[in-house]
Each structure stands twice: as structure tokens, then as C-alpha cells.
Amino acid sequence: MPKYSIAVDIGASTGRLILGYLEGGLLKLEGIHRFENKIVKKGDSFCWEADKLFQEIIIGLKKCTELGIKPDSIGIDTWAVDFVLLDENDQPLTEAVSYRDPRTDGMMEEVFNLFSKERLYLETGIQFQKFNTIYQLYSIKKNHPEILEKAKSFLMIPDYFNYLLTGKKANEYTNATSTQLVNAFTKNWDQQLLDVLGINREMFEEIKTPKTVLGNLSKELVSEIGFDLKVILPATHDTGSAVIAVPEEDESIYISSGTWSLIGVENYFPICITKALDYNFTNEGGIDYQYRFLKNIMGLWMIQEVKRNYNDEYSFAELVDLAREAKGFKAIVNVNNDRFLKPDNMIDEIMNYCIETGQSVPSTPGEVAKCIFESLSESYKEAVKEIEEIFEKKFKKINVIGGGCQNEMLNQLIADVTNKEVYAGPVEATAIGNIVTQLMALGEIENIKQARSIIKDSFEVRKYLPVQHIRS
Ligand SMILES: Nc1ncnc2c1ncn2[C@@H]1O[C@H](COP(=O)(O)OP(=O)(O)OP(=O)(O)O)[C@@H](O)[C@H]1O
Ligand SMILES: [Mg+2]
């Protein structure tokens, strides 16, 4: 009997429960449950609906019973940096406030007054983004110190769900590194940094690594769902799980393409040199203490917002088709400009940018989409140049993984602007990375090398050659 593992993968726009198991040496996937995720306004804050998301996990597990499946394990991954704080009675003290909430405005600069930017990078190796946990916590410290005083547990979103499933508290390593509070060398909470910021070290849990079996479901949940299973820690940061599933590891740069674009390479040590800091690269902790040297840049969030602004009249695939048809149109926006992080209306923001920069202004859905895809590819080209400069070498291939790798126009654009071979797939990289990690913990897969070879054999990866290459 194969072992059945459930990956719970919750992204900024959708969540899913996917069942995975080995059959004849190949990894098989079956979708169990899909649900929407979105940011909602609660009082003055932009928040995730954490309890609703947890209920969706339970609904998904109950569906397993209906489908006659009895999974052996479950692993949860989500986006990074966000968290909840629990009080002494383990009750939430805070909403799961989203990283897009403006509470972190100006906080980065205040933290730098206490702990220099250079030292922060040298110790944590983490990219500077205004929404990192460190700035979120500092904003609470500054504006609501009473909350921090009462806080007894700090749990990141997947840690919180794991706690609700098992009653056990732990901070998973890959996600913990995204806080910018973990020392890249000791791989533990940076005591000195926490002291300087005046943040209570006691509320942080023990850091546990991927492949740890956290425990079983609580008794109440076993009776509600109808079966028990092991709760295993995957790389609970979704990017960590996605990068585990990169099949083209040799001489290859990966782009994990979803709401964000994460572009980088896998590494065995953190690179905290000045150039990496200047280019704002991160060294996030990965499975087996590998590091993801990457840059978090704008992703398909822009097209997600545009789709929403058009009242979901067009599907993603239709927007790609329309963009292809808008042949004569050309305008490039700087996708990494902060104005595109959370504009009131993405279409207006893009149009205004084009007016301000004296370019043609996109007026049809196809022109807007074309502008986004071409602008994204230009930003990837820039990041590739930076990676090659830091590593002082050329990479041959780019492996695009995640939902965005279904965008054939974007894949071809990436190949063309970087003049590299692009490999697109697997689409469900995050869930796959999550599942193989559970299967490693269960002894079904030996190590990450074997996991990647199974992934390569099991899923379609499409190849795109640069146009220059085809012509020559
Ligand atoms: N059929 C399609 N054709 C082209 N692009 C698609 C298609 N389906 C999905 N996408 C792209 O995939 C993106 C979603 O990717 P993915 O499902 O990996 O993101 P997510 O998991 O919801 O978010 P996150 O990056 O926060 O994890 C969409 O924004 C869309 O641009
Ligand atoms: Mg995702």
C-alpha cells in the first residue's frame, strides 16, 4: 500500500488540498478541495480570514472520508511573514493581519535607527521588504505595546494551523527565516536583535525543520473528521516547498511564478556580500539547511488585480490570448515600483504610469495584459543579470514553476529577453514539494535528489527556446 499525503497549499488568491502518492515510481496527484483566499478589511486593518481558511482545511479532510481516502499525513504551506500572537490562554490576541496592511509604513527606517541595515543583512541574510515580520512586530511594539506584553506565543500562519490541528506549537524553520529575525548562521532566533528591538524572546517557539513529524490530530478533530493522520512539517513557506520541486536544478535559475515572482538559485551557504544587499537578494532557509538565494519581485499579482478590475470577465488564459492579439502595442512599466503593490485600481495605475512616462497608454484588456507580461519579463531580465553578476558566471536555463508557468506568452518572452532556454513546469510545484517532503519523512522517498528525479519523470515540463536561437 502506498502512503497517501495531503498537501495544503494556500496562496494569496487560492488554497487547495492535493493528495499525493507514489505509484510505479511516479508521483500521482489528485485535487481534493479548492477554495478562495482573499484579504478583507477588519476594523482598520487588512487581514486574512485565518479561521475560515482553517475550516476549509477541515472541509477538505472530510471530503477525503467521502471519497474513501484515508491519508497518512498532512503538511501545510502558505505565504510567508504573517503571523498571529496568542495570549496565556492560547487565545488569539491579534487578527492574522496581512503583509499588505500599511501598518509597516516607515517601520523599516525606525528599525535601522536601532540596528544598522548592513548588520541586519549580515546576520540574517534576508531581503529588505517593508512587510517582513520584523517590521510588523516593531509596528505593534510601537503602536500597541500592550499586545506584545500579553503575547505568549508567536505562530506564523502555517504554525497556527498546525497548532489548531495538533495542539502543538512550533515555528517551522523555512518560514521562520522569512521573519528577518533568524540568524542565518546559527539558524536560530537572533537574541541580540530581539533584545535591541525590545521584542520578547519568550513568545517564540522552538524552531523545527521540514520533515519533522509534529504529531497527530487532536482527539476532538479525530472524532469530527473520522480518522487520524500525522501532521508533518513541509517547508511551510510556500516558496520553500516550490523550490524543492524544481526539476532542472543544474546550471539553472528558477522563477517561482505566482502572486509573486521569486527568482534565484539554490545555494549551500548564505551570501551576505554588499552587492547582494545592494541588489536586495535574500538568503531564505530551505530544506536540509540549503539556502534559497533569490529576489522577491512583482509577480502575477498585477494581472490578478486587472482580472478583478474587469469584474472577472476574462479568465487568465483569455487575457493571455488577448495580449497575444495586441501585437502593435508596446509600453513598459517598472513593475517593482511600490505604486503597484496595492493600488486602488491596477488598470488606472498602469495607465497613469504610461501617461507620466510619455508612453502609449494601454486601453484594451489585451494591451493592459501585454504591457504587464512584457514589463514582468524585463524585470526578470534585470534580476538574471544581477544573479550572473554576483555569481560571476552565466546560467544556461531558467525553470519557471507554479501557476504562472501556464502563461505561454510570458514563458516565450522570458526566453527571448534573457536569451536562455526556459523550462516551464510543474504547475503545482508548491504542493509537489510539500508532498515529497512528507513522503521523505514517511520513508517513502530517500532524499531530495531522488525526489527531484521522481518529479522530473512524473510531470510535464515544456521547453521554450529564445527566438534568436531558433533563427540562428
Ligand atoms: N490557464 C492559465 N493561463 C495562464 N496563466 C494562468 C493560468 N492559470 C493560472 N495562471 C496564472 O497563475 C497565477 C496563480 O499562480 P499560483 O496558483 O501558483 O498562485 P497562488 O498559489 O494562488 O499564489 P501565491 O503565489 O501567493 O502562492 C495566476 O495569477 C495566473 O496569472
Ligand atoms: Mg502558491
CB 139 within 8 A of CB 146: no
Q: How far is the CA of 2 from the centre of ligand 2 (A)?
A: 26
Instruction: Give the model confidence (pLDDT) of 414-460 as tens digits.
Output: 999 999 999 999 999 999 999 999 999 999 999 999 999 999 999 99
Cα(412)–Cα(424) distance, integer angstroms: 10
Q: For residues 446 and 355, what is the distance between their CA atoms, to the nearest angstrom?
A: 56
Confidence of residue 471 (pLDDT cuts 50, 70, 90): very low
Residue 260 CA: which ligand 1 atom is closest?
25
Q: What is residue 342's predicted lDDT score, i.e. its pLDDT? A: 87
Quick one: which of 161, 158, 191, 187 has its CA closest to 175?
Answer: 158
Q: In what order do the strands lie in the sheet with 26-36?
A: 26-36, 14-23, 5-10, 73-78, 230-232, 213-216
Strand partners, 17: 8, 33
β-pairing verdict for 73-78 and 5-10: parallel
pLDDT at 470: 47
* Residue ranges around ligand 1 (CB below 6 Å): 11-14, 79, 238, 258-260, 300, 303-304, 316-317, 320, 402-404, 406-407
Q: Which residues contact 79 (CB under 8 A, 6 or more apart)?
A: 10, 11, 12, 99, 157, 237, 238, 259
Report whether pLDDT(472) > 70.
Answer: no
pLDDT given for residue 13 in this prediction: 85
Whether the pLDDT of residue 224 is over 90: the answer is yes
**Ligand nearest to the CA of residue 261, numbered in listed order:** 1
Grid cell listed for 207 = 524552531
Spacing, Cα 80 to ligand 2 middle (Å): 11
Note whether 219 and 169 are within 8 A (CB). Answer: no
Ligand with the closest atom to the CA of 434:
2
Percent over 70 (pLDDT), the chain: 99
* Residue in the block written with cell 534580476: 383
**Nearest atom, ligand 1, residue 407 CA:** 4
Residue 248: the pLDDT is 73
Long-range CB pairs of 96-99, under 8 A, 24+ apart, other chains included: 96/47, 96/48, 96/49, 96/50, 96/157, 96/160, 97/45, 97/46, 97/47, 97/48, 97/136, 98/39, 98/45, 98/46, 98/47, 98/48, 99/131, 99/136
Mean per-residue pLDDT over the chain, rounded? 96
Residue position matching grid coordinates 512550533: 170
Confidence of residue 468 (pLDDT cuts 50, 70, 90): low
Query: Is the peptide bond between 426 and the residue preceding it cis, with omega within 30 degrees of 0?
Result: yes
- pLDDT by residue (tens digit) across 47-95? 999 999 999 999 999 999 999 999 999 999 999 999 999 999 999 999 9
Supply the pLDDT for residue 469.
52
Judged against a pLDDT cut of 50, whether residue 461 lies above it is answered with: yes
**Residues 212-217: what's their mean pLDDT?**
98
Say if CB 64 and CB 6 are below 8 A apart.
yes
Q: Kindly list the distances between the CA atom of residue 123 and the CA atoms of 21, 177, 199, 235, 434, in Å, as whole numbers in the listed order.
A: 39, 11, 17, 22, 28
Q: Cα(341)–Cα(465) distance, rounded to whole angstroms?
A: 32
Strands of 39-42's sheet, edge to edge?
Answer: 39-42, 45-48, 96-97
Environment of ion ligand 2 (residues, CB < 5 A): 11, 238, 258, 430
> Each residue of 265-287: pLDDT tens digit?
999 999 999 999 999 999 999 99
Instruction: Kindly report the three-state secondary structure assignment for every residue of the chain.
Output: CCCCEEEEEECCCEEEEEEEEEECCEEEEEEEEEEECCEEEECCEEEECHHHHHHHHHHHHHHHHHHCCCCCEEEEEECCCCEEEECCCCCECCCEECCCCHHHCCHHHHHHHHCCHHHHHHHHCCCCCCCCHHHHHHHHHHHCHHHHHHCCEEEEHHHHHHHHHHCCCCEEHHHHHCCCCECCCCCCECHHHHHHHCCCHHHCCCEECCCCEEEECCHHHHHHHCCCCEEECCCCEHHHHHHHCCCCCCCEEEEEECCEEEEEEEECCCCCCHHHHHCCCEEEECHHHCEEEEEEEECCHHHHHHHHHCCCCCCHHHHHHHHHHCCCCCCCCCCCCHHHCCCCCHHHHHHHHHHHCCCCCCCCHHHHHHHHHHHHHHHHHHHHHHHHHHHCCCCCEEEEECHHHHCHHHHHHHHHHHCCEEEECCCCHHHHHHHHHHHHHCCCCCCHHHHHHHHHHHCCCEEECCHHHHHC
Give the span between the Cα atoms of 225 and 61, in whole angstroms: 7
Residue 211 CA to ligand 2 center (angstroms) comes to 20
The residues assigned a catalytic role are 238
Going from the Cα of 9 to the center of ligand 2, the distance in angstroms, rounded, reads 7
Q: How many Å separate Cα 92 from the centre of its chain?
A: 24
For residue 304, pLDDT over 50 is answered with yes
Average pLDDT over residues 20-27: 97
Question: Per-residue pLDDT tens for 200-212?
Answer: 999 999 999 999 9
Domains annotated for the chain, with CATH where assigned, are 5-232 (3.30.420.40), 246-425 (3.30.420.40)
Taking residues 138-164, report their average pLDDT. 97
249 closest CA partner among 391, 397, 377, 388:
397
pLDDT in tens, 361-420: 999 999 999 999 999 999 999 999 999 999 999 999 999 999 999 999 999 999 999 999
